[in-house]
């Protein structure tokens, strides 16, 4: 075999190896984009752990401060000020359970749903702080959607109230994000729009209502 032919064969094997395992080609250990077919398969695959949530205790001051988070959407009971809605201040003129003076309970949860597997996973996380007259109605809510991924970048996020809310014992929020996932071919980018619907109640409950 001539040297030129040997060099050509070696180059072909090197190129084939790069195509088979491009995710390991990055010298810094970070994944590299894959071919479009494999990338789409990974982006659409079922995640090993498709959803989860974290809850924590919050003070009225922390609930109000969360409204300043970039991208947050906030709703306040129209009969109350924000301070009244979270229980920071009250009106002592009445002791009705459906009044300004009724105690407010507040909660916070970060609920996430994930699509795909590494390195093409896409995750939407809905972080919401909310307060209620316990067992009666929601009085305050502020929510921030975030999209995250390894190779898939987040183009946009949004929150939308799709049921409940003012005067109801629950609300359902749809948190959405748009992702752009590169492939090894620079001009082929996978675009994925994802959403998760989460129900929260006036007793502090949180559960997923759907996703897509």
Point out the residues of the chain with pLDDT beneath 70.
Answer: 1-28, 90-100
For the chain, the distance separating the N- and C-terminal CA atoms, rounded to the nearest angstrom, is: 56
Q: 150: domain range?
A: 34-211
Mention every residue, 6+ apart, whose C-beta is less than 8 A from residue 190.
36, 39, 40, 43, 120, 152, 179, 180, 181, 182, 183
Question: Are residues 161 and 58 both part of a single domain?
Answer: yes
Question: Are residues 59 and 158 both part of a single domain?
Answer: yes
148 CA to centre of own chain: 7
Location of structure tokens 């009445």: 94
Q: What's the pLDDT at 2?
A: 45
Q: What's the pLDDT at 109?
A: 98
Round to whole Å and give the CA distance between 45 and 118. 10
Question: Are residues 21 and 79 both part of a single domain?
Answer: no
Backbone angles phi, psi at 21, to 5 degrees: -130, 55
Domain count along the chain: 2
Question: Are residues 74 and 14 both part of a single domain?
Answer: no
Question: Are residues 69 and 161 both part of a single domain?
Answer: yes
Question: Are residues 134 and 196 both part of a single domain?
Answer: yes
Question: Are residues 58 and 142 both part of a single domain?
Answer: yes
Q: What's the pLDDT at 4?
A: 43
Question: Are residues 78 and 11 both part of a single domain?
Answer: no
Give the SS3 label for residue 204.
coil
Q: What's the pLDDT at 29?
A: 73
Q: What's the pLDDT at 88?
A: 85
For 153-166, give the DSSP string. EEEEEEEEEEEE-T
Q: What's the pLDDT at 7?
A: 39
Nearest to 119 by CA among 22, 15, 16, 17: 22
Question: Are residues 63 and 121 both part of a single domain?
Answer: yes
Q: What's the pLDDT at 89?
A: 74
Question: Are residues 40 and 95 both part of a single domain?
Answer: yes
Question: Are residues 6 and 61 both part of a single domain?
Answer: no
Do residues 113 and 89 lie in contact, with contact meaning Cβ atoms separated by under 8 Å? no
Question: Are residues 89 and 116 both part of a single domain?
Answer: yes
Give the SS3 label for residue 175.
strand
Q: What's the pLDDT at 22?
A: 39
């Amino acid at each position: 075999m001539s040297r030129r032919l040997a060099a050509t064969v070696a180059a072909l094997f090197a190129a084939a190896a790069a195509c088979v395992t491009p995710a390991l080609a990055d010298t810094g250990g970070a994944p590299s984009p894959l071919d479009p077919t494999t990338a789409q398969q990974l982006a659409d695959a079922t995640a090993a752990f498709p959803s989860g949530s974290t809850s924590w205790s919050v003070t009225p001051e922390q609930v109000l401060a969360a409204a300043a988070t970039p991208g947050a959407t906030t709703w306040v009971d129209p009969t109350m000020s924000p301070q009244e809605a979270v229980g920071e201040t009250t009106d002592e003129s009445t002791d009705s359970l459906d009044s300004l003076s009724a105690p407010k309970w507040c909660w916070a949860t970060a609920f996430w749903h994930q699509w795909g597997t590494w390195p093409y996973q896409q995750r939407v996380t809905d972080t919401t702080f909310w307060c209620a007259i316990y067992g009666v109605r929601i009085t305050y809510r502020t929510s921030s959607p975030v999209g995250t991924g390894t190779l898939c970048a987040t183009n946009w996020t949004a929150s939308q109230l799709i049921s409940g809310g003012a005067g109801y014992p629950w609300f359902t929020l749809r948190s959405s994000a748009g992702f752009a996932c590169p492939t090894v071919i620079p001009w082929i980018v996978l675009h994925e729009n994802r959403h998760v619907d989460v129900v929260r109640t006036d007793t502090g409950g949180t559960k997923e209502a759907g996703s897509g």
